[in-house]
Amino acid sequence: MKANKGNRISRIIAIVAIILLFAGAAYAEILGNSKTKKYHTTTCKLAQKIRQENKVIFKNVAEAKQKGYAPCKTCSPDSAPAAVSSAPAKKK
């Protein structure tokens, strides 16, 4: 019985860790570079190269635009389905 209880606690910890991971990923959908004033999807190879001191995290493309950032031409975050919302895909 004792071992069973410990098992359950470690399982809860594992679940919480997974939830936190997902929550973190959802928040890091758009990465901005304060030096180049460009924003990227998190999967963009240029986004991986942003220095820690220049890295800005936006909730979505709209927020990045509002702060005066321009979309990266390599990953084109505007057309990427970054935000998993129910909004229909808009094209300019």
> Which positions lie near Zn ion, rule CB under 5 A?
40, 44, 46, 72, 74-75
The Cα–Cα gap between 26 and 10 comes to 24
The Cα–Cα gap between 25 and 61 comes to 15
CB nearer to Zn ion: give 59 or 78.
78
Question: Cβ of residue 19: shortest distance to Zn ion, in angstroms?
Answer: 28
The Cα–Cα gap between 69 and 38 comes to 5
- The secondary structure of residue 31, as a DSSP letter, is E
Question: Cβ of residue 59: shortest distance to Zn ion, in angstroms?
Answer: 17
Question: Cβ of residue 29: shortest distance to Zn ion, in angstroms?
Answer: 13
Question: Cβ of residue 61: shortest distance to Zn ion, in angstroms?
Answer: 12
CB nearer to Zn ion: give 8 or 35.
35
- Helix, strand and coil content of the chain, in percent to the nearest 5, comes to 40, 15, 40
Sign of CA dihedral 30, 35, 38, 44: negative
CB nearer to Zn ion: give 15 or 46.
46
CB nearer to Zn ion: give 25 or 70.
70
